[in-house]
Amino acid sequence: MTTFAQNLISYLHLFKMAERKVRVRFAPSPTGALHIGGVRTALYNYLFARQHGGDLVFRIEDTDSHRFVPGAEEYILESFKWLGIQFDEGVSFGGEHGPYRQSERRVLYKTYVQQLLDAGKAYYAFDTPEELEAKRNELKNFQYDAHTRMQMRNSLTMTPEECQQRIADGEQYVVRFLVEPGREIHVQDLIRGEVIVKSDILDDKVLYKSADELPTYHLANIVDDHLMEITHVIRGEEWLPSAPLHVLLYEAFGWTDTMPSFAHLPLLLKPEGKGKLSKRDGDRLGFPVFPLEWHDPKTGEVSSGFRESGYFPEAVVNFLALLGWNPGTDQEIFSLNELVDAFDITRCSKAGAKYDYQKGIWFNHEYMLQKSDDEIADLFAPIVANNGVDESMDRIRQVVHMMKDRVDFVKELWPLCSFFFVAPLEYDMKTVRKRWKPYSAEQMTELADLLEGLDDFSIENQEQHVMNWVKEKDYKLGDVMNAFRLTLVGIGKGPGMFDISAFLGKNETLRRLRKAIEEIPTVASHLA
Ligand code: GLU
């Protein structure tokens, strides 16, 4: 897009905003678990609303009763609660534009359908599914439009009396939108610029079905956006093909002046970067694509969620915010409030955004570091207790302080830190083979005697005495420290040795040392 056109669109957009309070909506269909792309859409709507002092509306688009899944609405609400994304109005939040569930707005939609019928902008169609199928077989690329509608059974090809008679007889019908050919439709998109589409390629979309007395997505969506005074429609790229029809509908109703600005967000792509991200990619590569774990009520299938996988909600929000938008700087860590300030819808990319789940893990690690030891300790404490260990909060916090920079998730702490709380039950064979020398038992006995003589068991004091002894005896420091580690930890890993011994305290350190001096030689002799 040219800079001029871009400026013009931004200008118009600002001008519109000056007049009307910004109102955006997130309008999911309750057809199952909310995909992570939907979460990002809601997040961008939230950021946009907050930064413009506007409102975010939560609307449920449930006009397709066949696709309704029980529990989906609750799931969506719980997801946003967990993520800290708050709505101002809508299902479960109340507000002056309700009801916010489309299935509760049937009567209202009927009057709008009638309005289009009366104005000749829509018409009744009685074609049965079989007739439509026959036509599809007869005409290659059949589309219900200006070229074909006069060959079909509808109110344009029959007398008003016949049409009314059929309706009175209870014959099922749909109402179709009459798309005039030869028009150029201009969609102003804050991300994509001006998108121009020829009306000839559009078909006469069904707006209403008598069978279930419900409007289709297109009609309900436009009527609600209008009545709910929505100023900006921010949604996934998959809805871009519907936008020209939506523009025409606004026009047909005479609402062009208050037509919202559109912003169609880029697709989320597979981690490999090709094709749309799917649930199967998550299963294949082992990462969640849903905010919360989801139990499909029909199939019983369970899909993993970010929450249950141990992600921090802040990390998920931060990760998603940068999938398809960037601040134009190197900054990567943003709190929700910082995002509100930095977010700029016009800086969203048009091209799809690769779902780099490794980056999601990286974000979780960063938030682990950012959070206080107390916060992490609160999350870690139940895990410690579940492993049958009764420890004070203070000691759990000390362990967290030593170890949190080594993990990405709280759940990874226990396997790494259990030795702080329980003595090793066995010694890692590989480490024994590598680190336990023929003279280690003797050195460790000397070390135990030395430590036993210390009154001050602080890190510094232990270190000073041990270093002097090693120097005096001309031992290799590596030999001593590696064997010492093996006795306390059972394996060749962990933080600084004196951090460990100081934490364990004198009694426990000596107990582990003496036990290891007895047991490891037996283990080692088996290996020999
Ligand atoms: N009900 C649609 C969905 O499930 C809403 C699309 C829109 O935002 O217009 O995403």
pLDDT at residue 66, rounded to an integer: 84
User: β-strand 193-198 against 261-265: which pairing, if any?
Assistant: unpaired
Q: What domains lie within the chain, and their CATH numbers?
A: 269-369 (1.10.1160.10), 373-416 (1.10.8), 423-526 (1.10.10.350)
Ligand 1 touching residue 253 (CB < 6 A)? no
Ligand 1 touching residue 27 (CB < 6 A)? yes
From 235, 247, 268, mutation site for ligand 1 pocket: most ligand atoms within 8 A of C-beta: 235
Is 279 a known active-site residue? yes
* Rounded-to-integer distance, Cα 116 and Cα 456, Å: 88
Give the residue numbers of the binding site for ATP.
279
**Each residue's pLDDT tens digit, 83-142:** 999 999 999 999 999 999 999 999 999 999 999 999 999 999 999 999 999 999 999 999
298 Cα to the center of ligand 1, angstroms: 23
29 Cα nearest atom in ligand 1: 4
DSSP state, residue 58: E
Task: Point out the catalytic residue in the list 140, 198, 274, 279.
Answer: 279
157 Cα to the center of ligand 1, angstroms: 34
Tokens of 26: 């997130």
Q: Which of 301, 298, 348 is nearest to 324 (CA)?
A: 348
Ligand 1 touching residue 28 (CB < 6 A)? yes
CA distance from start to end of the chain:
74
Low-confidence ranges of the chain (pLDDT < 50): 1
25 Cα nearest atom in ligand 1: 8
pLDDT at residue 527, rounded to an integer: 66
From 62, 239, 264, 265, mutation site for ligand 1 pocket: most ligand atoms within 8 A of C-beta: 239
Quote the pTM value: 0.92
Q: Which residue's structure tokens are 């260990």?
A: 389
114 Cα to the center of ligand 1, angstroms: 24
The alpha carbon dihedral of 220, 29, 225, 345 has a sign of negative
User: β-strand 122-125 against 174-177: which pairing, if any?
Assistant: antiparallel
3-state secondary structure of 291: coil
**Each residue's pLDDT tens digit, 225-254:** 999 999 999 999 999 999 999 999 999 999
Ligand 1 touching residue 29 (CB < 6 A)? yes
3-state secondary structure of 454: coil
31 Cα nearest atom in ligand 1: 4
Phi, psi at 41, each rounded to 5°: -60, -45
Q: Exposure string (b/e) for 166-184, b if CB count within 10 Å is 16 or more?
A: beeeeeebbbbbbbeeeee
239 Cα to the center of ligand 1, angstroms: 7
Ligand 1 touching residue 45 (CB < 6 A)? no
498 and 450 Cβ atoms separated by less than 8 Å: no
pLDDT at residue 38, rounded to an integer: 97
